[in-house]
Chain A
Amino acid sequence: MSEPVIVCDRLAVRLGGVQVLNGLTLSVFQGDFLGIVGPNGGGKTTLLRVILGLQRPTQGSVRVFGGEPGSQPKRTGYVPQRLFFDRDFPLSVGGLVLMGRLSRRRLFRPYGDRDRHAVDEALRTVGLQDLRDRQVGALSGGELQRALIARALAGEPELLLLDEPTASIDPAMKSSVYDLLETLRGSMTIVMVSHDTGIITKHVTRITCLNCTLDMHEEGSSLRRTPIGDIYDYPVDAILHNRPKSEGSES
């Protein structure tokens, strides 16, 4: 039986008087690829921020790797939804990805061969090895997104959290990001927030719909028979889980 990586118990978050998350109970197990879909403002990003330790829950508890959220940065990788930065910030792709090693770096110790090797590896994984010396501001949206994934991978995380990694890129790039995640599947626990209700189901082992509260859908069940129509106020693609379960998701 695999260890739960994330355990949320009756989690509730209020932000500025608005109930963003309410009564959320969720376990994510080692090797899971959990997809979180739901409308804007449904609390998806807030849930990731709670798991990262950037946002304190108002009620309930969250344990990540059995401890406080944010207490084990070495084991956690994070891909933000968008990155706001000056286009002329003097930083190369290699330098950006090297920042992923910060969580593993000891203070006052310079980066070493081990770090550079991890950066090479991460750049190869996302297919950006030829753009290592390119300035970050000169990247296209899809390249930047892959660079951010590489930054998270460079830290060699056991848990990868992605916040709408395909939100700002074109369909061709989307499928390349999904192909990339497919190669990572099983080697680490992945939690991904997404709007791509159609494509996401081909890849994830479990999917949840988050709109303040939670609907969990195991593989094999169809969302059509669930209240997803109530959650989204626009038509939703049929979502059917028909992948064989990966070993890690047995619990």
Chain B
Amino acid sequence: MSETVFGGILAFEFMRNAILAALLSSIACGIIGTFVVVKRIGFISGGIAHTAFGGIGLGYYLGVNPLLGIIPFSLAAALGIGILGKKLKVSEDTAIGTFWAAGMSLGVILIGLTPGYAPDLFSYLFGNILTVPTGDLVMIMLLDLLIVGVVLLFNREFLAISFDEEYAEVSGLKSTALYLLLLALIALTVVVMVRVVGIVMVIALLSVPAAIARNFSRSIPSMMGVATVLSFLFSLAGLALSYIFDLASGATIILVAATAFFMVQGWRFLSVWRQGR
């Protein structure tokens, strides 16, 4: 009797953390994902996320929380790719590819140098929303607050550089600095989302909810709101399906999002086709 009650509380406890993690990561990915989609910087975001694997390796090597290791690596990748592209006119493709592979290589080497087995490595790569520790939740919440605060302060500037960078520059905005700030926010969003979907699949949750939201939004703030709600729904649906069918949670969430994406595209195709008849 007491054992089942205890089990129920435990279930409630990890479920509560999972739902909270889904909500917090959805806020960050709805807001930042909107800029990722309208500014078409999805692959920079992918590069930043994969470079972060070096940070996970560093965390294991130093014996600290890998989430803490991710922060400097993803920030360095964001600023590195941004500066190489904007200041030194290196093709962004090249910069992304180099950071992406170098970050992952560092991670592999650091994990190899760490004595013993690297526990939970899989969950950092592919996410595991069912095992988010409360300490990580606090960190995710603080990063969320930081991201929301910076976007509130700079939303008009971010809109300006996303829509028409040259005009932003002519208006006296420091467009390169703002762009680097936006990339830095993407880096922090990666940290927020690692626990939910893992670094490999961050790119999907950054782009899919916002891309769907764009079909139903007439302004950037409404796109952010719709994207946040969609991301939360995908995460909850993925969480439920993974729990019921005992599937990997991060991958299930991504597949739910991708299914919704293809359904929306199918619906758009049908409505275009109907109009054409």
Contact = CB atoms under 8 A, between A and B. Distances in A.
Interface of A: 52-54, 70, 73-74, 76, 78, 80, 83, 85-86, 88-92, 95-96, 99-100, 102-103, 105, 107-108, 111, 135, 151, 155
Given A91-B163, A105-B156, A54 B169 contact: yes
Contacts of A155: 171
B7 to A, nearest CB: 47
A147 B218 CA distance: 17
Contacts of A52: 170
Contacts of B168: 102
Query: Across chains A and B, which 8 residue pairs bring their CB atoms closest together, nearest first?
Result: A73-B172, A102-B171, A103-B171, A90-B217, A78-B170, A90-B223, A73-B171, A103-B172
Contacts of A83: 164
Interface in B244-269: none
Given A85-B163, A99-B164, A102-B156, A90 B170 contact: no
A92 B167 contact: no
A102 B162 CA distance: 14
Q: Is the interface of B mostly helix, strand, loop or mixed?
A: helix
Nearest to B155: A110
A50 to B, nearest CB: 12
Nearest to B226: A90
B2 interface: no
B159 interface: yes
Interface residues of B, number: 24
A92 B218 contact: yes
A216 B39 CA distance: 42
Interface string B68-85: 000000000000000000
A92 B219 CA distance: 7
Contact of A54 (B38, B166, B214, B218): B166
A102 B159 CA distance: 11
B166 A80 contact: yes
Given A90-B214, A105-B156, A99 B172 contact: no
B114 interface: no
A54 B153 CA distance: 26
A74 B170 contact: no
B222 interface: yes
A88 B214 contact: yes
Contacts of B215: 88
Contact of B38 (A80, A86, A151): A86
Contacts of B108: none
